[in-house]
Amino acid sequence: MRKYKFRGKSADTKEWLVGALVPNGKRPCIAPFGELFHLEEVSHETVGQFVELTDRNKREVYEGDILKWKEYDFEKIGVVIWSPSGVFIGHPREHGIQCIGVASTIKETEIIGNIHDNLDLLKGASNG
C-alpha cells in the first residue's frame, strides 16, 4: 500500500515538517503524524511527497531532494521529480528539466540536500 506522506517548510519557523498534507485556504498545511488537531501552515513551493525510496543511509527521499550517486567513473547529481509516469532524477536546464535517470533504477544514492535549502549544489553539476 502506498504511503501518503509529505514534507513542507513551516511558514513561521522555517523548519521542515512531515505528515499529512491538508489544504487550508490559500496555504497548504502539514498535520504532523501523531499530533492530533495540529496543523502547521507550510510554504506551498516547499511541499514534496515521499517517493517511497530511501537513500543508502536509509533516509526517506522526497520530491525536491538532491541526490548524488556514481555511475561507472562519473559522479552524478540530480533532483528528484515526480510525474504520473514515475519518479525521475533530473537536472535543471534553461528551458525545463533534463531527465538523467529513473529513480528506482539508480542504486547507492545519497541525499545531499534539497532544492529549497541547497539549490547551489546543482550549479555546475555533471550529469556524466
**Domain ranges (residues) in the chain:** 6-46, 49-122
What phi and psi values does residue 105 have, to the nearest 5 degrees? -95, -10
Mean pLDDT taken over the chain: 85
Per the CB < 8 A criterion, the answer to whether 41 and 29 are in contact is yes
Contacts 24+ apart (CB under 8 A), 77-83: 77/112, 77/121, 77/122, 77/125, 77/126, 77/127, 78/122, 78/125, 78/127, 79/115, 79/122, 80/48, 80/51, 82/49, 82/51
* Region 88-99 average pLDDT: 72
pLDDT at 41 over 90: yes
- Burial class, 126, CB count within 10 angstroms (exposed 0-12 / middle 13-18 / buried 19+): exposed
Rounded to whole angstroms, the Cα distance separating 87 from 68 reads 16
Rounded to whole angstroms, the Cα distance separating 74 from 37 reads 48
Per the CB < 8 A criterion, the answer to whether 44 and 29 are in contact is no
Contacts 24+ apart (CB under 8 A), 22-31: 30/6
pLDDT at 116 over 90: yes
C-alpha cell at position 70? 556514481
pLDDT on residue 123: 76
The amino acid sitting at 27 is: R
CATH assignment, 49-122: 2.30.30.290
* Region 7-34 average pLDDT: 91
pLDDT at 95 over 70: no
* Region 27-46 average pLDDT: 89
Q: What is the pLDDT of residues 50-71, one digit of tens each?
A: 998 999 999 999 999 999 988 8
